[in-house]
């Protein structure tokens, strides 16, 4: 009988990538991925620990999965509940105490061990956890990817040595690590062969990627890597995320000028607009330094879309500090943004700071910032109404006959067409725009030309 695997993913793009790789590894054991929990022999949650809200989701989710497990048991079916990801790394064995239904737990650097762990569990029915930072890379043990998606992720760098004072990532993902050029190129080629037209290169600090060229002679940075990846035939678009501001090199900025396949978009989180807060956050740049980098990107590629993450209500953030965050957002005019209330995380230095901000203040600041950011996003999108822009179609829309894709500037775009457009890059005339998406019509003249 065919065995099935259901995966639910929380958190960042790296977790989405990891889930794809977990599916690759379990496919070798005969598990096929499904969207239907009831038919799944393995129910797997890939978790995130970045904010309290994200981590809390685990407990309610495990409860829900356990109900399914019990129902399946009445049909005589065994079900394995596996938890993976950053919460496992952060909590270690404690995770079993709080969640009795979990059978196996595996951290983000150990999931290549899952096949072995599953075999062991099926034999002895012992709960197991693997949450070390192994001396060897998980990538050496994972099979080549069979994942196929038009727009897909490829992890090139993992971990973080920056230790921003609020952040759990250095503890959950470990120290910085760059995959080798040949390993990345091999995976990129496989993804393109499986149908990828767009690859998003991923890293917690993606622009810290570094490696040696094929001759093992010269040092390469992310700009050089993008150049190599851009040579792959059939690959149309390249993106990368997330970048750390002070590590941006001129070579990377130049890549935006010179490499057509590199999309005009940069996610460059500033987090806060006050130098005092940035210092307390242990971010290694000033507001002026950040703005200088933005200016360089805009000079190299005047149409580049810029996005950011923001944290409001960091310990000690005054009204005046927060006003500076609003001012910086106003100045940069972001195309997209993600903003969060500061969430104290166990084990981080900021969680021990005395001057924590009241929840009501955080809430009010977040509402004000989000209002501004949403207006900017809407204004950015509205500028495209009446223009024709190339869209890479990736999925079906919500309505029948509707297709969804992305502009070079990462705007979600819908059009209607009788036949599937998935995998094609087509010119679309934009007819309307909201803060979250664009709508348009295909241009038949160009299509038939």
Residues that bind ligand F3S (CB under 6 A): 11-12, 14-15, 48-50, 85-86, 168-169, 172-173
* Contact call for residue 271 and ligand SAH (CB under 6 A): yes
Q: Which does 86 bind (CB under 5 to 8 A by kind): ligand F3S, ligand SF4, ligand SAH, none?
A: ligand F3S
* Contact call for residue 343 and ligand SAH (CB under 6 A): yes
Taking the C-alpha atoms of residue 297 and residue 316, their distance in angstroms, rounded to an integer, is: 32
Q: Which does 343 bind (CB under 5 to 8 A by kind): ligand SF4, ligand F3S, ligand SAH, none?
A: ligand SAH
Size, binding site for ligand SAH by CB under 6 A: 17
**Least distance in angstroms from the C-beta of 36 to ligand F3S:** 25
Out of 83, 118, 167, 222, point to the residue binding ligand SAH (CB under 6 A): 167
Out of 112, 138, 197, 345, point to the residue binding ligand SAH (CB under 6 A): 345
Residue 207 neighbours by CB under 8 Å, 6+ apart: 221, 222, 240, 243, 244, 247, 248, 249, 252
Judged by CB, which is closer to ligand SF4: 43, or 167?
A: 167
CB 355 within 8 A of CB 316: yes
**Least distance in angstroms from the C-beta of 176 to ligand SAH:** 11
Q: Which does 438 bind (CB under 5 to 8 A by kind): ligand F3S, ligand SAH, ligand SF4, none?
A: none
Which pair of tokens denotes residue 435?
Answer: 């803060």
Q: Which does 163 bind (CB under 5 to 8 A by kind): ligand SF4, ligand F3S, ligand SAH, none?
A: ligand SF4
Q: Which does 51 bind (CB under 5 to 8 A by kind): ligand F3S, ligand SAH, ligand SF4, none?
A: ligand SAH
Q: Which does 366 bind (CB under 5 to 8 A by kind): ligand F3S, ligand SAH, ligand SF4, none?
A: none
CA 404 to chain centroid, in Å, comes to 19
Q: Which does 172 bind (CB under 5 to 8 A by kind): ligand SF4, ligand F3S, ligand SAH, none?
A: ligand F3S
Taking the C-alpha atoms of residue 64 and residue 60, their distance in angstroms, rounded to an integer, is: 6
Taking the C-alpha atoms of residue 431 and residue 425, their distance in angstroms, rounded to an integer, is: 18
* Contact call for residue 366 and ligand SAH (CB under 6 A): no
Edge-to-edge strand ranges of the sheet holding 151-155: 151-155, 198-202, 237-241
Nearest one of 302, 137, 156, 293 to 222, comparing CA atoms? 156
Write down the H helix ranges in 234-358: 250-258, 275-280, 287-300, 319-332
CB 110 within 8 A of CB 130: yes
Q: What is the DSSP code (8-state) at residue 55?
A: H
**Least distance in angstroms from the C-beta of 246 to ligand SF4:** 10
**Least distance in angstroms from the C-beta of 280 to ligand SF4:** 13
Judged by CB, which is closer to ligand SF4: 14, or 58?
A: 14
Candidates 19-27, 57-65, 166-174, 402-410; binding stretch for ligand SAH (CB under 6 A) = 166-174
Judged by CB, which is closer to ligand F3S: 33, or 343?
A: 343
Taking the C-alpha atoms of residue 285 and residue 244, their distance in angstroms, rounded to an integer, is: 9
Question: Which residues are at the interface with ligand SF4 (CB under 6 A)?
Answer: 160, 162-164, 167, 169-170, 204-205, 244
Question: Residue 74: what are its φ and ψ, rounded to 5°?
Answer: -65, -20
Q: Which does 240 bind (CB under 5 to 8 A by kind): ligand SAH, ligand SF4, ligand F3S, none?
A: none
Span 52-81, contacts to ligand SAH by CB under 6 A: none
**Least distance in angstroms from the C-beta of 243 to ligand F3S:** 15
Question: Residue 413: what are its φ and ψ, rounded to 5°?
Answer: -130, 135
Nearest one of 400, 444, 447, 439 to 420, comparing CA atoms? 400
Report the C-alpha dihedral over residues 285, 286, 288, 293, rounded to 10 degrees. 20
- CA-to-CA separations, 396 to 16, 115, 381, 399, 410, in angstroms, rounded: 19, 33, 21, 8, 17
Judged by CB, which is closer to ligand F3S: 172, or 308?
A: 172
* Contact call for residue 309 and ligand SAH (CB under 6 A): yes
- What is the bridge-based pairing of β-strands 3-9 and 31-33? parallel
Q: What is the DSSP code (8-state) at residue 323?
A: H
Judged by CB, which is closer to ligand SAH: 261, or 267?
A: 267
Q: For binding to ligand SAH (CB under 6 A), which residues are involved?
A: 50-51, 166-167, 169, 204-205, 242, 244, 269, 271, 309, 311, 340, 342-343, 345
């Amino acid at each position: 009988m065919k065995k099935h695997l259901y995966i639910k993913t929380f958190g960042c793009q790296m977790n989405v990538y990891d889930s794809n790789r977990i599916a690759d590894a379990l496919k070798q054991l005969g598990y096929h991925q499904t969207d239907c929990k009831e038919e799944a022999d393995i129910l797997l949650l890939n978790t995130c620990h970045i904010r309290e809200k994200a981590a809390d989701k685990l407990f309610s989710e495990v409860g829900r999965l356990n109900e399914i497990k019990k129902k399946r048991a009445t049909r005589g079916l065994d079900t394995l509940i596996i938890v993976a990801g950053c919460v496992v790394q952060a909590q270690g064995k404690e995770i079993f105490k709080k969640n009795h239904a979990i059978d196996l737990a595996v951290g983000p650097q150990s999931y290549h061990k899952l096949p072995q762990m599953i075999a062991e569990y099926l034999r002895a029915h012992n709960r197991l956890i693997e949450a070390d930072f192994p001396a060897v890379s998980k990538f050496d043990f994972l099979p080549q990817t069979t994942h196929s998606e038009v727009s897909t992720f490829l992890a090139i760098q993992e971990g973080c040595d920056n230790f921003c004072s609020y952040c759990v990532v250095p503890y959950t993902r470990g120290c910085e690590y760059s995959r080798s050029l040949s390993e990345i190129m091999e995976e990129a080629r496989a993804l393109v062969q499986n149908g990828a037209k767009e690859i998003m290169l991923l890293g917690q600090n993606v622009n810290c990627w570094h490696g040696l060229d094929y001759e093992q002679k010269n040092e390469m940075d992310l700009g050089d890597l993008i150049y190599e990846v851009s040579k792959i035939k059939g690959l149309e678009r390249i993106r990368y995320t997330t970048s750390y501001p002070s590590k941006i090199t001129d070579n990377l900025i130049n890549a935006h000028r010179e490499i057509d396949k590199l999309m005009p978009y940069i996610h460059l989180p500033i987090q806060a607009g006050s130098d005092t807060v940035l210092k307390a956050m242990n971010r290694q740049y000033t507001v002026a330094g950040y703005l200088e980098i933005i200016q360089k990107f805009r000079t190299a590629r005047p149409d580049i879309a810029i996005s950011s993450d923001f944290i409001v209500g960091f310990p000690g953030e005054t009204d005046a500090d927060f006003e500076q965050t609003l001012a910086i957002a106003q100045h940069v005019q972001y195309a997209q943004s993600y903003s969060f209330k500061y969430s104290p995380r166990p084990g981080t230095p900021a969680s021990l700071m005395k001057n924590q901000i009241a929840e009501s203040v955080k809430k009010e600041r977040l509402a004000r910032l989000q209002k501004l950011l949403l207006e900017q996003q809407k204004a950015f999108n509205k500028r495209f109404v009446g223009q024709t822009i190339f869209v890479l179609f990736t999925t079906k829309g919500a309505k029948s006959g509707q297709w969804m894709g992305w502009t070079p500037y990462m705007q979600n775009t819908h059009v209607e067409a009788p036949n599937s457009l998935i995998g094609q890059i087509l010119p679309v005339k934009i007819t309307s725009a909201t803060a979250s998406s664009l709508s348009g019509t295909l241009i038949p003249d160009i299509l038939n030309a």
